[in-house]
């Protein structure tokens, strides 16, 4: 951020030089030439001075908004134990409420992603913290009313869908020139996923602690999130646009990686993506329910602890993921699937019967698998997506990941016929199959696949 533009790009003085700081620089806008030291973003917010950009980390505000929205998305999770015990919810109803916000996430992802490719990131992302606040307010007022809980969860999902499709793309673009001259090509994905994971973790930690030990356990967790979201919602207002407006983001090109002729998206991203939240929800929704009888004095706090352990493990691995995911290979996804296999096998042992000293490391390993799956999958999407379809393909990826939120509901429905140890072992077998596919097909550089698609 503090490196001079000429130093960062290779100084040049002639028109059209890649290292020049003069002439016209445009990101897809029709605003025409801009003066020396300015870059047109195509936004109604005007030009962004590269001199100012060198001293400001513009990506922090949208990353903070992602953090706040993720906080609201996961504040509900440790409270499932409370709703089961205080309101008499069955496992099926509690898991339905957990997954209900996917009904808001997926439409928001699939609609907002393409719209932001066309109209810019700001107008689609600015409402996200305020929609999350509306969801928390509805949850706080629900008093165990199921329709209100469903409505609040869906609003939380809409906000999270906006944050994941649009906010992630915004962070990615603000983590590149002309906004950030020091970031590497994977910085955007890493920053966005860390913000997401930390929001999930702290949302669960705060709500679990408040529900366990503070008064008004059905209200204070949501009030805390409201304060956080207001702060980050206001900070977001000053963030510049990063995407040119009025881009003709029509149908994807026929040879684009996300379409059926291109195998990398279909055979790498699609089969792996559901494991992202399949592992996460196993750690912080299924394991707490199975272990609740072992911690009768503080079941909500223990649920929050497992959630935090899993998500901190995931965020920690994301922080150093560039050491694993460097290059254009599928090494990060392969390593993440190995973690998935091992974590599910450990979970199958830990719950038969529940053994607390095994459940904690199982949650940590599941969280590590979640973290690496998330960031390596997102980096893969960002490699193969052209700029004018980045949010659209990010939305598709995240939409598939959220299918994993139905894993707790599916397993609770299968429980009368299959025990959790057997189902976890079966999940390990399925993830091992995914690992074999990745290892056999996708060791080569991505450029080979691009060349094949262009023929």
Check if the beta carbon of residue 251 is closer than 8 Å to that of residue 158.
Answer: no
- Residues with Cβ < 8 Å from 259, sequence gap 6 or more? 252, 253, 265
pTM of the model: 0.71
pLDDT at 280: 92
- Residues with Cβ < 8 Å from 6, sequence gap 6 or more? 12, 19, 21
Q: Name the one residue in this structure whose structure tokens are 């279909």.
A: 266
Q: Where are the domains of the chain?
A: 57-244+253-454
- Count CA within 13 A, CB hemisphere, residue 383: 21
DSSP reduced 3-state for 351 = strand
pLDDT at 56: 67
d(CA 247, CA 233): 26
Cis peptide before 178 (omega within 30 of 0): yes
> Which residues sit opposite 39 in a β-bridge?
48
Better pLDDT: 417 or 91: 417
Better pLDDT: 419 or 247: 419
* 57-244+253-454 belongs to CATH 3.30.1490.20: no
Better pLDDT: 308 or 186: 308
d(CA 32, CA 40): 8
> Which residues sit opposite 48 in a β-bridge?
39
d(CA 204, CA 217): 13
For residue 173, give the nearest of 62, 256, 16, 330 by alpha carbon: 62
Residue 349 corresponds to which tokens in the numbers above? 């042992």
- Residues with Cβ < 8 Å from 134, sequence gap 6 or more? 155
pLDDT confidence band for 253 (50 / 70 / 90):
very low
d(CA 365, CA 359): 10
pLDDT at 39: 40
d(CA 225, CA 243): 29
d(CA 216, CA 255): 56
d(CA 65, CA 370): 21
The dihedral through the CA atoms of 114, 68, 173, 326 has a sign that is negative
Distance linking the first and last C-alpha atoms of the chain: 40
What does the mean pLDDT of the chain come to? 78
pLDDT confidence band for 31 (50 / 70 / 90):
very low
> In the predicted model, is pLDDT for residue 195 greater than 60?
yes
d(CA 283, CA 285): 6
How far from the centroid of its chain's Cα atoms is residue 27's Cα?
Answer: 26
The number of beta carbons lying within 10 Å of the beta carbon of residue 252 is: 17
Mean pLDDT for the stretch of residues 87-93: 79
pLDDT digits (tens, 9 = 90+) for 139-182: 999 887 889 999 999 999 999 999 988 888 888 888 877 776 67
pLDDT at 50: 44
pLDDT digits (tens, 9 = 90+) for 440-450: 776 554 445 45
d(CA 391, CA 380): 13
pLDDT at 380: 83
pLDDT confidence band for 257 (50 / 70 / 90):
very low
Q: If you write DSSP's letter for every residue of 163-197 in order, what string do you get?
A: IIIIIHHHHHHHTSTTT-SS--TTHHHHHHHHHHH
Percent of the chain with pLDDT over 90: 31
pLDDT at 455: 52
Percent of the chain with pLDDT over 70: 77
Mean pLDDT for the stretch of residues 125-147: 93
Residue 90 corresponds to which tokens in the numbers above? 């069955």
């Amino acid at each position: 951020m503090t490196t001079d533009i000429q130093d960062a790009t290779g100084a040049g003085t002639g028109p059209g030089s890649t290292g020049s700081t003069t002439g016209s620089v445009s990101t897809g806008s029709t605003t025409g030439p801009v003066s020396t030291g300015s870059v047109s973003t195509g936004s109604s917010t005007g030009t962004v001075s590269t001199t100012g950009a060198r001293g400001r980390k513009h990506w922090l505000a949208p990353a903070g908004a992602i953090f706040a929205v993720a906080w609201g998305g996961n504040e509900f999770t440790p409270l499932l134990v409370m709703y089961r015990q205080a309101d008499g919810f069955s496992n099926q109803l509690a898991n339905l409420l957990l997954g209900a916000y996917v009904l808001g996430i997926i439409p928001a992802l699939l609609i907002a992603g393409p719209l932001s490719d066309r109209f810019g990131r700001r107008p689609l992302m600015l409402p996200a913290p305020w929609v999350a606040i509306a969801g928390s307010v509805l949850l706080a007022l629900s008093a165990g009313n199921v329709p209100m809980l469903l409505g609040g969860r869906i609003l939380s999902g809409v906000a999270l869908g906006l944050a994941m499709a649009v906010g992630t793309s915004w962070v990615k673009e603000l983590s590149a020139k002309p906004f950030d001259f020091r970031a590497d090509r994977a910085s955007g994905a890493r920053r966005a996923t860390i913000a997401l994971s930390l929001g999930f973790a702290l949302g669960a930690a705060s709500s679990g602690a408040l529900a366990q030990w503070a008064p008004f356990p059905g209200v204070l967790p949501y009030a805390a999130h409201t304060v956080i979201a207001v702060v980050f919602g206001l900070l977001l207002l000053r963030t510049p646009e990063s995407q040119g407006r009025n881009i003709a983001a029509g149908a994807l090109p026929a040879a684009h990686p996300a379409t059926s002729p291109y195998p990398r998206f279909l055979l790498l991203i699609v089969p792996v993506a559901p494991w992202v939240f399949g592992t996460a929800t196993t750690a912080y929704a299924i394991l707490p329910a199975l272990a609740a009888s072992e911690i009768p004095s503080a079941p909500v706090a223990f649920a929050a602890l497992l959630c935090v352990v899993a998500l901190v493990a995931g965020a920690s691995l994301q922080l150093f993921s560039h050491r694993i995911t460097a290059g254009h290979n599928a090494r990060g996804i392969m390593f993440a699937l190995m973690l998935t296999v091992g974590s599910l096998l450990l979970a199958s042992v830990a719950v038969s019967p529940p053994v607390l000293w095994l459940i904690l490391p199982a949650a940590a390993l599941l969280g590590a698998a979640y973290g690496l799956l998330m960031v390596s999958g997102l980096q893969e999407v960002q490699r193969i997506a052209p700029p004018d379809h980045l949010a659209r393909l990010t939305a598709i990826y995240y939409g598939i990941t959220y299918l994993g939120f139905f894993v707790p509901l599916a397993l609770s429905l299968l429980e009368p016929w299959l025990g959790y140890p057997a189902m976890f072992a079966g999940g390990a077998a399925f993830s091992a199959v995914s690992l074999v596919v990745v290892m056999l097909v996708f060791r080569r550089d991505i450029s080979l696949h691009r060349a094949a698609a262009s023929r």
